[in-house]
Structure 1
């Protein structure tokens, strides 16, 4: 998923010589995979949802978050990279800062919407569960003054609300990345890798350098850091950015690379949650504990990166150049069903910020509903389908508003 403004992701009619060819044209695969990620994120954040037992995260080290951040980088290369190419560094940076401002208030709005929902449920007094406790919001409601200051300064970032702040910090790094790229792309690589290294708390601790760890405080009453460390996750964001800018070449499609990527994905399965839970691989559980340094989600461990790149390569090959296989046409019933489903997925992917905000709120509503009507198989399926429909409706509504139909009416 990306939080770049879809309205800005359009082909360039004319680009300057330095613009990367990859940044000129929209790729259907981008919207398709971030649309899929949106549905996975809804499932993953719905409490007590057995759908989460079978999402991609259970089969390997990486999950929908990697899709989210990688596609964010790709779309940002189109939306914001174009501004740098056509308007210069200063106005390009202004374009990025405006998006950071938008995402900031989306984050604040999401927090208050979810916190109000949970507080309203608790105020009824009709339930044994204290719902503000399900997201560990005790401190906020007991002593709201300091937490309001922390919320608005991003020094109070509860775990459920940490993706958007991470994205804001990564976006804020873009002006420096673009400045370095004008000197030499090697400087970009050194900076990105260097920042990632100093975000690896456990790795630094191994060398007695824990005090040099790059992290941001998540709450004023403890030393806990943001769960999604932006200085670690920027590696995958700027990987997607670099591919779309043309700084990194497209990997060739060869049997050897396909075989290597497939092997890396399959090797992950025994070491995954599925391997531990379903196949009873106790040795895998022990391996994961001993090698947390390489698979940590918070600081974005190296093996998560390797697994995602292998999986992304296979999906990229399967979809075909510019998603040609996704767009395959036909006249049969299955072909028509696929075409309709594809249109819906693409729409969800195109309106990712609105869909993400609504999905995080909807996930809590879905969990509350299942707390009261039960979690038998068909109930869970029904609630998940209802949640998916909410996301689809949100995407189409957001698209309608962004098309500004009132302007078209005036023009007529």
Structure 2
């Protein structure tokens, strides 16, 4: 699948839509999970396994980036590609700051409008309220993050590391996997992560850990592009068994079972910050089955006109839109006593608005494309008896 758009936003006809569809499902699930307390939240796959939509989103993002940049980091092009990647990282940083400011405004507005000052003690807002000067500086420097507003900052961190990943990949895919896996392991064992300035903690989603999943998606999709994933019956059976056991573990709440045997938590725990092994294996097992079972893979090959394809194609804009909707939904849940019926209705409306917004972005891209074509035709010379005219 190519993740590139033409110069004016037109969608390539040969686009493989499967990653768009799975990315859309991840985005919609993130939105639903970010409005806690309603019924749809209990139907998302975080309730049936160790990983959730954040892992799926990062894996899919790694695959998309592999297709977009994997073959372009050649000698003579590295500076241009690196600058393009850094520009994307800056875009993600600005998007993170923007959504954080809007999130603060939504909760502050709710506190004022509904007379609920307790809203300013939710989702890690209180530190900024109590120490505004330090809080604003910390937000800008990514040293303080609000709850449910921590994916884009981690993703921007991954893009800052991407030129190094590309450099390693040009030498050896296995070298890249080895370096990335070592970084993941060291970060997990010694708790290495970007720190928060206003408390003694660190980022909720550690890019030094999550980069391993990103790299696995990056390398995996490029290998699949060359020769496909091998359909190993033993590996498929092990993946299915692992998914089944993890479902039982979560549904039956087997969290009191200790199988650590003194090993580091990153190998045996369920920590999300440092992407512990059980979570990592869960998302990889699911992805392997999707990639190797034809009925699952072919189902996602939907036409370009399908709503899910549109949602996945405009992933950044839709993610920002969904985050703002989710924050407004959280305020609504707090002021209505966390009414699950109202929350469910809001979640359904939010999903519909995601689709409508993606459709609008498609329409906008089509208008821009038509205008560009019209301007291009007008710029062509018109030959007459007196010579070319413009």
Q: Same fold, TM exceeding 0.5?
A: yes
Deviation at 1:298, TM superposition (A): 0.7
Give the C-alpha shift of residue 84 in structure 1: 2.4
Q: Using a 3 Å threshold, how does the CA distance of structure 1 residues 159 and 384 change in structure 2: closer, same or farther?
A: closer
Matches of 2:243 and 2:339 in 1, distance apart?
32
Tell whether the 8 Å contact from 1:60 to 1:307 is kept in structure 2 after alignment: yes
Which residue matches 1:172? 160
Check conservation: 1:154, 1:165, Cα contact below 8 A. Answer: yes
User: Which range is displaced more, 252-261 or 139-148?
Assistant: 252-261
1:69 and 1:237 in contact (8 A); partners too: yes
Q: Which residue of 1 aligns with 2:17?
A: 28
Whether contact under 8 Å (1:166, 1:230) holds in the other structure is yes
Taking the TM superposition and a 5 Å limit, the aligned residue runs for 1:322-341 are 323-327=297-301
What residue number does 1:390 align with? Answer: 353
User: Partners of 1:345 and 1:288 in 2: how far apart?
Assistant: 40
Distance 2:126 2:151 in 1: 21
- Scaled by the length of structure 1, the TM-score of the pair is 0.80
Equivalent in 138, 143, 164 of residue 126 of structure 2? 138
Q: Which residue of 2 aligns with 1:352?
A: 315
Aligned twin of 1:231: 208
Q: CA deviation at 1:54?
A: 2.4
Q: Which has the larger radius of gyration?
A: 2
Question: C-alpha displacement at 1:151, in angstroms?
Answer: 1.4
Of the three residues 221, 228, 231, the one matched with 2:198 is: 221
Which structure: greater helix fraction?
1
- Structure 2 residue aligned with 1:280: none
C-alpha distance in structure 1 between counterparts of 2:130 and 2:80, whole Å = 43
Match of 2:382 in 1: none
User: Residues 98-152 of structure 1, C-alpha deviation per residue, up to 9 Å, x if partnerless?
Assistant: 100111111111011111111111122x344622222121121232222222111
The aligned residue for residue 17 of structure 1 is none
Q: How does 1:301-340 map to 2 (within 5 A)?
A: 301-320=276-295, 323-327=297-301
Structure 2 segments unaligned to the other structure (5+ residues): 378-390
Q: Aligned equivalents of 1:288 and 1:358: distance in 2?
A: 41
* Cα distance change of structure 1 residues 375 and 214 upon mapping to structure 2, 3 Å threshold: closer
Q: Is 1:242 matched up with 2:219? A: yes
In the alignment of these two chains, the number of paired residues is 366
Distance 1:250 1:411 in 2: 40
Relative contact order: is structure 1 or structure 2 higher (C-alpha 8 Å, sep ≥ 6)? Answer: 2
What does residue 363 of structure 2 align with?
400
* Kept after mapping to 2: 8 A contact 1:359/1:391: yes
Q: CA deviation at 1:226?
A: 0.3
Q: Distance in 2 between matches of 1:161 and 1:94?
A: 26
Q: Tell me whether 1:266 sits opposite 2:231 in the alignment.
A: no
The TM-score normalised by the length of structure 2 is: 0.84
Unaligned stretches of 5+ residues in structure 1: 14-24, 205-209, 277-283, 329-338
1:332 alignment counterpart: none
> What SS does the aligned partner of 2:70 have?
helix
